Structure 1
Amino acid sequence: MGLGLIHIYTQILGLEVLSDPSGIYLCQDKYTSDLLSKAGLTDNKTASTPFEHNLHLAPNAGPPLRDPTLYRQLVGSLVYLTVTRPDIAYVVYTVSQFMFAPCFDHYVVVLRILRYLKGTMFHGLHFTSTSSLTLRGFSNADWDSDITDRRSTTGYYFFLGDSLISWRSKKQYLTARSSTEVEYRALADTAQEPMWLRWLLSNIGAPQHSPTPLWCDNSAIQIAHNDAFHERTKHIEIECHFVRQHVTRQTIQLLPISTIDQPADIFTKAHLPGRFRDLVSKLYLAHSSPD
């Protein structure tokens, strides 16, 4: 990211804001550095990803921590860090599920997140001044991903032009009976976000005059355009009506995307280093320290 010679730098509650002619850069590198010191990670060891591929955490993962205070403090700080670091949203959401009774394996994952952050200290968000003001989003889900309760994970994010402005990684509230149901529940959750964003943008002088494109699984699109309910969809009737209503009103436009091309996949599961780097690149994070 090229930053101009003239810029304004501000730090508020651990959030660093740099403004220059190219736009606004948000990061939390000082906050991250303090967090690493708190955890006692003073060496130079880093991790290529924040979460080991195919690792599934369970409530009783190893011996319980004698004193869970540090774990809770670190995870709480990591939750705040996701304000500018969407690349760790999935793993932070995962470790935050064990705040009540953390175990040794949970703490090991927290340390891995911190080592990943050590190697990507200056990653942050860049809101470019030349970006368009067109809203677009991506919705995805990972079926049966939690080995404890078999609930699935929803992930989505939205861009305003080339600037990432909203994202989420969250476990679905019900156990789904098929991958189709999972994708549609994810789509219904995702579809609520552009409604609010469109209202907000309209109120600040950037109304969206065309439907917001939303890339999602093709099976979810088929249900959204199918007026006839059947055995596979009758138990998600409310979600069907909600999404179909906004498709009909042309506030959203559903577009198919393959799993391999789905950038919201970063919010639903852990990935191998190559795949993870590819997904992070699609977030358009800034990778440089401000001058």
Structure 2
Amino acid sequence: MQGKFEMSMMGELTFLLGLQVKQLKDGTFISQTKYTRDLMTKFGIEEKSAVKILMNTSVKMDMDADGKVVDQTRFRALIGSLLYLTASRPDITFAVGLSARFQSAPKESHMTAAKRILRYLKGCQVVGLWYPKEGGFKLIGYSDSDYAGCRVDRKNTSSTYQMLGNRLVSWFSKKQNSIATSTAEAEYIDAGSCCAQVLWMRQQLRHYEVEEKEIPIMCDNTSAIAITQNPVLHSRTKHIGVRYHFIRDPVEKKDITLEYISTDKQLADIFTKPLYESRFEELKHELGLIELS
């Protein structure tokens, strides 16, 4: 590349676009510690106490019709800053996404919830993603859905993430576009989203001469798994949009396999709903989030 482009060698990568990178003998650690501390100063959280969990399990955010209106520009600035932080902090993905739904008319309760995310981050500023050197290249996906979780329009929250070996490489949490009539339908739609991402990642791996077949997608709903394996449209599934049925083709071709996993082992829970502290900390560890000084 130096023969074609003017460039200089600056050594190993240590900082890029707000991401701090530590390349160690056993693996690579990615964090946004400096960026996090800058957010504390920008939004006046330095004097606030830290909290251990992002959201209480009893919290149900809605439009808050009687709440006090807050500065829309400042609220959007906070949400935008937190969204960028999810690049290395998947543990805040659900809470940030939930708060982001109220940017058009934010109330004081929404601002409090968003600032609570900063208070949580204050207690774990140096946490980041750990990518160990060992672990192989086995691709595996997880999909989960929170049925009718949104109090405003009763739509579901979809979440998927993909692991390469034991390394978290892709994840998302968002509200589904359509209203599902059952938990099976919600999980089925979510599995389709996960399938699309997995197939794209498989194509990328082929550029590195890594061939993946029968990629497992872990789902905790047996009815959703049964729908993917049954090509017959009956009264309970014929209303599901055609675009959500594309997952049946890769299942038939054995490009992917949907496998059952019990709910207590479903790691994607952290992207769909508020959790108790013990469960939240357990899933953080499983995702590869550690504190490295």
Unaligned runs of 5+ in 1: 1-6
- Please say if residues 205 and 211 of structure 2, whose CA atoms lie closer than 8 Å, have aligned partners that are also in contact: yes
Q: Residues 186-225 of structure 1: matches in 2 within 5 Å?
A: 186-208=190-212, 210-216=213-219, 217-225=221-229
Equivalent in the alignment of 2:256: 252
The residue type equivalent to 2:85 in the other structure is L
- Please say if residues 159 and 268 of structure 2, whose CA atoms lie closer than 8 Å, have aligned partners that are also in contact: yes
Does residue 172 of the first structure (1) align with residue 176 of the second (2)?
yes
Q: CA deviation at 1:239?
A: 4.8
Equivalent in the alignment of 1:3: none
Does residue 87 of the first structure (1) align with residue 58 of the second (2)?
no
Equivalent in 121, 133, 150 of residue 146 of structure 1: 150
Equivalent in the alignment of 1:265: 269
The separation in 1 between residues aligned to 2:151 and 2:76, in whole angstroms, is 23
- Please say if residues 17 and 26 of structure 1, whose CA atoms lie closer than 8 Å, have aligned partners that are also in contact: yes
Equivalent in 233, 236, 241 of residue 232 of structure 1: 236
The separation in 2 between residues aligned to 1:176 and 1:265, in whole angstroms, is 18
Equivalent in 30, 35, 44 of residue 40 of structure 1: 44
Equivalent in 90, 112, 117 of residue 113 of structure 1: 117
Give the TM-score of the pair, scaled to structure 2. 0.92
Q: CA deviation at 1:221?
A: 0.7
Q: Residues 118-133 of structure 1: matches in 2 within 5 Å?
A: 118-133=122-137
Does residue 55 of the first structure (1) align with residue 59 of the second (2)?
yes
Pairs aligned (count): 281
Q: CA deviation at 1:240?
A: 5.8
The superposition leaves residues 154-212 of structure 1 with CA deviations (integer Å, 9 ceiling, x where unpaired) of 0110100011000010100011111111111111111100010000111133222x211
The separation in 2 between residues aligned to 1:105 and 1:170, in whole angstroms, is 21
Does residue 64 of the first structure (1) align with residue 80 of the second (2)?
no
The separation in 1 between residues aligned to 2:209 and 2:31, in whole angstroms, is 26
Which shows bigger deviation, 114-123 or 76-85?
114-123
Change in 2 beyond 3 A, CA 1:261/1:26: same
- Please say if residues 8 and 18 of structure 1, whose CA atoms lie closer than 8 Å, have aligned partners that are also in contact: no
- Please say if residues 158 and 175 of structure 2, whose CA atoms lie closer than 8 Å, have aligned partners that are also in contact: yes
The separation in 2 between residues aligned to 1:131 and 1:188, in whole angstroms, is 27
Runs of 4+ in 1 over 6 A off after TM superposition: none
Cα RMSD (Å): 1.6
Unaligned runs of 5+ in 2: 1-10
- Please say if residues 126 and 291 of structure 2, whose CA atoms lie closer than 8 Å, have aligned partners that are also in contact: yes
The separation in 1 between residues aligned to 2:242 and 2:208, in whole angstroms, is 31
Give the TM-score of the pair, scaled to structure 1. 0.92
- Please say if residues 223 and 240 of structure 1, whose CA atoms lie closer than 8 Å, have aligned partners that are also in contact: no
The separation in 2 between residues aligned to 1:198 and 1:118, in whole angstroms, is 37
Q: CA deviation at 1:242?
A: 1.1
The residue type equivalent to 1:64 in the other structure is V
Equivalent in the alignment of 2:3: none
Q: CA deviation at 1:286?
A: 2.4
- Please say if residues 146 and 152 of structure 1, whose CA atoms lie closer than 8 Å, have aligned partners that are also in contact: yes
Equivalent in the alignment of 1:103: 107
The separation in 2 between residues aligned to 1:168 and 1:132, in whole angstroms, is 23
The separation in 1 between residues aligned to 2:57 and 2:63, in whole angstroms, is 18
